[in-house]
Structure 1
C-alpha cells in the first residue's frame, strides 16, 4: 500500500491524448484500489472560482445568526440550507458518541430540479429537496453554482479515467452521472474555539 497520497495530473486526459489518457487512468485506478485517495492536478479549473466562493461563504457565515436561521434546514435528514452549531454529530454515523460538532454548514444539492416524477415523486426525498438560498451575500448562489458546474465536469473526467482503468469503455458511468446524480455541496465553517466548547468536542467528530 502507498505510504503517501499520490498527486495525479489529469491534463493528459483533458487534452485527449489516447496513450497518455490510459497511463493517467491506470495511475488513478491504482490509487483508488490501494490507498483510496488521490490529489488531482492539471484539471484546468480556474482558481478564482474557488477563491470567489470562499469569499462569499465567509461573508455568509459572518452574518448574524438570526439572518442565517431564516434558511435553516427544515428537517435533520435534509441537507439543504443552513445548519447551525450543535445540529450535527458525525461520529454517530459510526455508532459512537461525542458532543455535537463544533461547526456550522451551508448545503445545497442539484439546482433547478425538473418537474418530472424521478425528481418529484415519493422516492425523490431528500435527494432532490429544493435548495434554500440566502438573500445575502447576493453572489453566494452564483458562486456555488459556478463551482458546482466545474466539479460536475471534473467528476465526469475522473469517472471516465476510472472506467478505463477497469478495462471498460470510457463512457461506462456517463448515464448515472448525468443530471440525475444526487451530489451535495457543503460549505463548512470552523470558527475559532471559544470558551463554550465542551470536553472532547471536535470540529467534525469521527
Structure 2
C-alpha cells in the first residue's frame, strides 16, 4: 500500500447536475450515467449546478466558527451525551474514524458539532420507542444567536439536494426514477461542522485530522475549505490523492449502504483528512460543512436484483439503515 500523495483532478470528476431538474428525461438520464460512471470508478465526484445558495452555506459556516471559538466549558454544555446519541459537541481526540475499520488509532485532531432532523410530529414512527435515537431533539447552544435557524435552513436544503441526487442514482442504475423515494422520505440524515484547529504541535504517530474510513450511508455532501491539510481519497492504484477545492462546487461521495445496495458495483472509497505539512508557517485551521444522508431507519438495504449476476449470490445480507448507522457510531467513538 502506497502513501504517495498527488493532486489529480481527473480522479474525482466534476459533474454539472443542473439537468437533473430538466423536463427532458434523456437529459436527466445523461447526468445519471455520469454519476454512475464516477461511482463505479472512485465513488467520489464534485457537483456544480447544485442550487445551494451561498447564504445558506455561510449561515452554517459563520455560526459554527463562532461556536468553536468559545471556551471549552461553554461548548461542553451541549456535549454529545453518548455514542448512540449523535447530537451536539464532541471535542478534539474523542472520536477516531479508524475504528470504523476495526483498527486502533489515536483520537482524530478535530472537534465537531452535530444535528439531526428537526421533526415535530405525533406520528409514532418518529417516537423514541420506535425510532430509538434517530429523531431525538437537537441540542442548541445559547450562543451564537441564530445558529438553530441557520442550521435548520441548510439541513432542509441539503436534504432536498440529496433526494435529487438519489433520483440521479436511480437513473444511473437503470431503475425507475422514483425507486429510492419511499426509502428516504423520513431519512435520519445528519448535518455536521468539523473544525480542524491549527496544529501547534506535531501529531502523534498515526494521528490524522480524520483517520482513513468509509462513510456509512447513502451519500455525503461536503463543503470544503481552502486551507493546508485537506481531504484525500484512496485510489484503486493504491495512492492517496488530494481532492482539489473547486470554487462553488460541492464534494459528493457514496457510503457503505450505497455500495451494499449495488452489491459493490459502486465503490465506497476510503478517505481521510490529512495533517498540514509541518513546514507551513501560516495558520492551518480549517472547517468543513458535511451533510450525511441516511435512508429511513427501517429501510431494508439489500443488493438490487439488477446488480447481482445470474447464478451469483448477493455479497451482503439484508440490514436496515438504522441498525447499520448505530453500529458504526459505536465503533467510531473514542473508547475511554
TM-score by length of 1: 0.91
Structure 2 CA distance for partners of 1:26 and 1:136, relative to 1, 3 Å: same
Query: Which residue matches 1:148?
Result: 155
- Equivalent residues of 1:89, 1:101 under 8 A apart: yes
User: In the alignment, what sits opposite 2:249?
Assistant: none
Partner-residue secondary structure (3-state), 1:168? coil
Q: Write the deviation string for residues 71-103 of structure 1: whole angstroms up to 9, x where unpaired.
A: 111112211011112211111121111211111
Quote the residue 1:48 is aligned against: 55
The counterpart of 2:132, out of the listed 125, 128, 153, is 125
Residue 180 of structure 2 is aligned with which of 173, 194, 205? Answer: 173
Map of 1:193 onto structure 2: 199
Deviation (angstroms), 1:113: 4.1
Distance 1:205 1:165 in 2: 31
Partner deviation per Cα, 1:12-57 (whole Å, 9 max, x = no partner): 1223332211211111122122221111111122122112211111
Using the alignment, how far apart are the partners of 1:188 and 1:91 within structure 2? Answer: 16
Q: Distance in 1 between matches of 2:52 and 2:141?
A: 26
Change (3 A) 1:72 1:15: same
8 Å Cα contact 1:22/1:165 also seen in 2: yes
Gap runs ≥5 in structure 2: 1-8, 213-336
Shift of 1:196: 8.1
State the partner residue of 1:4.
11
Which stretches of structure 1, 4 residues or longer, exceed 6 Å deviation after superposition?
none
Further displaced range: 111-120 or 86-95: 111-120
Residue aligning to 1:184: 190
Instruction: Name whichever structure is richer in strand by fraction.
Output: 2
Q: Is the 8 A contact 1:73 1:81 kept in 2?
A: yes
Aligned residues: 204
2:35 is the counterpart of 1:20 = no
Q: Which moved more, 1:108-117 or 1:71-80?
A: 108-117
Contact in 2 for aligned 1:113/1:128 (Cα 8 Å): no
* Contact 1:99-1:201 within 8 A present in 2 as well: yes
Deviates more, 1:32-41 or 1:99-108: 32-41
TM alignment of 1:7-86, pairs within 5 A:
7-86=14-93
Q: Quick check: 2:20–2:27 contact (8 Å CA) kept in 1?
A: yes
Structure 1 window deviating more from structure 2 (121-130 vs 23-32): it is 121-130
Secondary structure, counterpart of 2:133 in structure 1? coil
**2:128–2:135 contact (8 Å) kept in structure 1:** no
In the alignment, the residues of structure 1 paired with residue 110 and residue 165 of structure 2 have an alpha-carbon distance, to the nearest angstrom, of 30
Contact 1:7–1:38 under 8 Å retained in 2:
yes
1:153-164 paired onto structure 2 within 5 Å: 153-164=160-171
Task: Specify the SS of the correspondent of 2:105.
Answer: coil
1: CA distance, partners of 2:202 / 2:19: 50
Structure 1 stretches lacking a partner, 5+ long:
none
